[in-house]
Each structure stands twice: as C-alpha cells, then as structure tokens.
Amino acid sequence: MNVELSQSSLSGTARAPSSKSYTHRAILAAGYSGGALVYDPLVSADTKATMRAVDAFGGDVTDTGEALEIDGFDGEPQIPADVIDCANSGTTMRLVSGTTALVDGITVLTGDSSLRSRPQGPMLSAIEQLDGRAESSRGNGKAPLVMKGPVSGDTVSIPGDVSSQYISALLMAGALTEDGIDIELETELKSAPYVDITLELLADFGVEAEKDGRTFSVPGGQFYEPTDGEYHVPGDFSSISYLLAAGAVAAKEDEELRIRGAYPSAQGDTFIVDVLDRMGADVNWNRNDGILTVKRSSLSGVEVDVGDTPDLLPTVAVLGAIADGETTIVNCEHVRYKETDRVAVMASELDALGAVVEEEEDELTIRGEESDLSGTDVAGHGDHRIVMSLAVAGLVADGTTTIAGAEHVDVSFPNFFEVLYDLGAKIER
C-alpha cells in the first residue's frame, strides 16, 4: 500500500497505542501461567505471532474485544504440532526461544525472509550451555532454528550488545526451570531498559528476578500468578515518539497536540521527551494524568546516544533533518540488526528527501541547516518504524511524499494513518 502525505498542520488529541514490548511479554507470561486476562493489549501483526506461539505450546488465546483471555500451559509447554512461524516478529522468536528450552521435545522456529536474516547465535549458545539442543538449520546462526529441551537451569555467558531480548527470554523461562538461571554478560548491555521492562512485568506476575551489575539471576521453581489474574498493558512510548515529533514540527500555530495514555513505566523510549526538550521543543508531560502536550517549535540539533533506545533512531533522524544545526546519533551499530538496517535505510531515504546525511558504522549525522526536504517517492523497507518516521518528514516536506509499503505500520501502530488524519494531516491512500 502506498500513502501520500502533504504539508499539514495538526491539532487535537490522540491516544497512544498500547506498548508492543509489554504486550509480547504479557502474552507469554500469561501462557506460562495457569491463565490470565491481559487488558489493553496491542493487537498487531507482531503480537499475533506471540499469540500463535502460545497456542502452539498448548495454551489458548482468545481476543474478547475487552481483553486477551489466555488459558496458559501452566509452566509446561507442549511439543508444537507444527513449525512455529514468527512472521516478521524478532521479539516473538527471541522470547519463545526460551520457551523451547522448557519443552521435552523438538521445536522449530522460523519467520519471513527479514526475520531469517537476523542473528540468533547468542541464544543458541545460551541454550547449549544449559545442555539443551539449539541449532540453525542452515548453520549460519539464523532461523530456521531447531531447539530441544528440557533444561534444568545453570549459568550462561552471552554478549550483552547484540540483543537484550536474549536476557529477557532466559529470565522468563528460567523461573520455570528446576535450578534457575544466572546470566553473565560478556559485554556491556545495549537496550538495557527493555530488560527493565521484563523485570517489571515478571514482578507483576509474581516472579522474582534480579540484576547485579552484568549478572542477572532468576531462581527456579517459580509460578506465574498475576494479581487478581489480570494484567493491564501501558501505553507505548516508541509509538508516542512519532506523535510527539509530528506535533513538534507540524502542530498548528499557537495550538497544541495532546497525547493521552502516556503514563510513566520502565520503557526506555520515554527518552524521546528529553530529546525533544534538549532540541528546544515546547513539550510538557503530566505524568499523573498520562498526558503529553507539544507545540510546533524551532528545533536545534543535538547529540543523541541510542545505545539503550534503538527504536528512536528513525524518529530522531527525521527531527535532525528538520532542526537547525547538526544532529549526531551515536552508539547505533546495533540498530542495523532490526527489521532492516535502520541506520543505512534512514540515511538513504532522508537523502532522497533532500537531507544532508553522513553515515558511519556506529554514527549517523544529519545536517539540518543544509537540508531542504522536498516530497518524493520513498520506501518503508518492510519496517513499521521507517514508515512512521518518514510520515513525520512528509508532514513538513515541500510537495507530496509517497511512502511505499505503508501497510507495515500494522506491526505496532495499526491505525497510525487514521490517527494522523484525525489530527489534520493531509493523507491519501
């Protein structure tokens, strides 16, 4: 699907979608339990992949319209009857890799061509260290993956700078092993707030886990039991970043854009509020009421370290192309291993729009004072975050910006373009 955007002025109120990160974890945690209700979930292409995985392991997920009603497999995942297709969801594959280590039999995980290109080696190594079987069917450390348990627990050593989701997967599964799991990181942890999300959610499901420097530990023999049998998913700050950015660059003169559902949580992407504030945006956050307000502002370039917040790189790159001065995004090599190489893709697509961009292995520099954005044809590269960030650019670029592959917003923000339209964006499909 192609979407066309023209210069627009926005105002009004939007509600943040629920968090994809929390939804994935809540679905799997409810699967690990005897059963639970998950309220306010993000039902998207990615989270549906996790729902299918829970079903495959012997659970049952039903969307009642008010909540996800999940009958769990009570800590004993069954051998799947078929290959588990994780589609384009890297989070699904990495989290349920931990589940496979609990299964007394073989599980095969696969996905689409993008997912099959992403590295899974550290997780395979971790399961082998636990005396499970973990192989790449093509021998390249990538899916399809062939996994076999059960493991009883032990100590594993893995790198921390490839994906924090390996730590999350091991913590979630480790609570159900006999002996528990200790995870020792060989390198500095990137995307650390995502592990904080996992620790917060585990506590909400009654599971004890802790971190001490580069070591994470979860005792075995535990049970997943959420309070009152239910869990409520918070709003998603990764998605909020596009709405905040849109307001900062395209809100109507002397009016504000309001975003509801922005409650504090362990999400690292709340960092976008600080980034916009440092760039000079008129942004205010009422944390008690969960309301963000933002006005169109004159922005200035800054340096942004995305080591802990890789999903913000596309948003910050677009803001840098609109701001005065130079914006440098540093510590971003790990952002190349997402749905696509987001560093290279943003450099390419912003260049097509007229931005002056310099790409290095671990750094992206955008010279806003030399950039003059003009509408053109750009590609979403099958990546929801690329599509949404380019849409923000399209709100201010001269002429019309056409984004190919816009349907991929279904991964995390299915009604993104409807929300923009309701705020006043000029959009045609």
- Please, which pLDDT band fits residue 270 given cuts at 50, 70 and 90? very high
pLDDT in tens, 157-193: 999 988 899 999 999 999 999 999 999 999 999 889 9
Query: Which residue, of 168, 198, 232, is where some domain finishes?
Result: 232
Instruction: Report the alpha-carbon distance of residue 110 to residue 116 in Å, rounded.
Output: 7
pLDDT in tens, 50-96: 999 999 999 999 999 999 999 999 999 999 999 999 999 999 999 99
Question: Which residues are catalytically annotated?
Answer: 311
Query: Which residue, of 232, 267, 296, is where some domain finishes?
Result: 232
Q: Could you tell me the CATH number of the domain that includes residue 113?
A: 3.65.10.10
pLDDT at 126: 98
Residue of 426, 376, 409, 402 whose CA lies nearest to 250? 426
Q: Are residues 163 and 307 in the same domain?
A: no
Instruction: Report the alpha-carbon distance of residue 337 to residue 305 in Å, rounded.
Output: 17
Q: What is the mean pLDDT of residues 284-302?
A: 97
164 appears as a binding residue in the annotation? yes
211 appears as a binding residue in the annotation? no
pLDDT in tens, 392-418: 999 999 999 999 999 999 989 999 999
Instruction: Report the alpha-carbon distance of residue 124 to residue 119 in Å, rounded.
Output: 10
CB 312 within 8 A of CB 275: yes
The one-letter amino acid code at 161 reads D
pLDDT at 170: 98
Q: Are residues 276 and 292 in the same domain?
A: yes
Residue of 99, 108, 112, 107 whose CA lies nearest to 45? 112
Q: Are residues 226 and 249 in the same domain?
A: no
Q: Are residues 184 and 242 in the same domain?
A: no
Q: Are residues 212 and 95 in the same domain?
A: yes
Reading the block at residue 399, the tokens are 């002429």
Q: Are residues 158 and 261 in the same domain?
A: no
222 appears as a binding residue in the annotation? no
300 appears as a binding residue in the annotation? no
Burial 325-363 (b: 16+ CB within 10 A, else e): ebbbbebbbbbbbbbbebbebbbebbeebbbbbeeeeee
Q: Are residues 161 and 200 in the same domain?
A: yes
CB 107 within 8 A of CB 147: yes
Q: How far is CA 371 from the centre of its chain?
A: 29
pLDDT at 16: 83
261 appears as a binding residue in the annotation? no
Count of domains for the chain = 2
Q: Are residues 191 and 243 in the same domain?
A: no
Angle between helices 90-100 and 20-32 (to 10 degrees): 20
Judged on CB neighbours under 10 Å (0-12, 13-18, 19+), 284 is middle
Instruction: Report the alpha-carbon distance of residue 246 to residue 315 in Å, rounded.
Output: 10
pLDDT at 259: 97
Task: Report pTM.
Answer: 0.83
Q: Are residues 241 and 225 in the same domain?
A: no
Other CB atoms within 10 Å distance of the CB of residue 20: 25
Average pLDDT of every residue of the chain: 97
pLDDT at 162: 87
342 appears as a binding residue in the annotation? yes
Query: Which residue, of 232, 250, 280, is where some domain finishes?
Result: 232
90 appears as a binding residue in the annotation? yes
Q: Are residues 24 and 12 in the same domain?
A: no
Q: Are residues 256 and 386 in the same domain?
A: yes
Residue of 258, 263, 235 whose CA lies nearest to 247? 258
206 appears as a binding residue in the annotation? no
142 appears as a binding residue in the annotation? no
pLDDT in tens, 4-33: 999 999 999 999 889 999 999 999 999 999
Instruction: Report the alpha-carbon distance of residue 292 to residue 162 in Å, rounded.
Output: 32
Residue of 314, 337, 336 whose CA lies nearest to 327? 314
Bridge partners, 286 (sequence order): 291
Reading the block at residue 194, the tokens are 């995502």
> Which domain range does residue 96 map to?
20-232
Q: Are residues 193 and 259 in the same domain?
A: no
